[in-house]
Amino acid sequence: MSGTDTRDIELTDDDVLHAVGKSWWVVLIVGLLSAGLGVLCLVWPGQTIVVVAVLFGVYLIVSGIVQLVQGFNKDNSTSERVLAIIVGVISIVLGILCFRGGIANGVYILSLFIGFSFLFRGIWQLVGGLQGKGMQGRGLLILSGVLGIIAGIIVLTVPLDSLVVLVWITGIWLVIMGIIEIIYSFKIKSATGN
């Protein structure tokens, strides 16, 4: 047993509010950064896609290396190790392809990844919803699955245009969230008297 007994500590709502109120400026900074990033997405969607594609290529290579390391972990079963090695090699190859032949490859691989992710997740949700008779939220799961399948087909059919739309949606969302966080930071500040 540790030497600290926390049963005697009582925090009131005012204590919590005061502690959070001291950091209202952190919420403000996060809001400003969110809104700023959103504006950048809206003003330069093409450049945003290029940056994301480069980061995605780096992510694929790093995650592939991690998967390869997992493939040699003796604590995993043979099937888990084989799968980790296969996924690791595929990730590294795709990551390298993101940088070979210009950035267009990276953007294209990113769009394929997003499209197939939407498609497979949609299929998984649809099947889960159809099999989950009596499950709470079954209708929403089925709807989400259908929308995911449609989104996946759209992204795979028109990959570059779909990425631009996704960047715009992300930009709008970041601007809205940034504004909400900025407003919230000042509400925290005024509620605590800081």
DSSP 87-141: HHHHHHHHHHHHHTT-HHHHHHHHHHHHHHHHHHHHHHHHHHHHH-TT-TTHHHH
Q: What is the pTM of this model?
A: 0.65
Domain that holds residue 92: 25-189
pLDDT at 105 over 90: no
In a domain, residue 8? The reply is no
**What's the pLDDT tens digit per position in 48-64?**
988 888 888 899 999 99
Give the torsion through C-alpha atoms of 126, 107, 45, 160, to 10 deg.
-60
**Is 18 inside a domain boundary?**
no
Kindly tell me the burial class for residue 16, based on how many C-beta atoms sit within 10 Å of its own C-beta (0-12, 13-18, 19 or more).
Answer: exposed
| Overall domain count for the chain | 1
- Please indicate, yes or no, if residue 86 is contained in any of the structural domains: yes
> Would residue 112 count as lying in a domain?
yes
Provide mean pLDDT across the span 134-160: 91
Distance in angstroms (rounded) separating the CA atoms of residues 98 and 78: 30
**Mean pLDDT to the nearest integer, 156-160:** 90
User: Is 38 inside any structural domain?
Assistant: yes
Q: Is residue 90 included in any domain, yes or no?
A: yes
78: left (phi over 0), alpha (psi -120 to 50) or beta: alpha
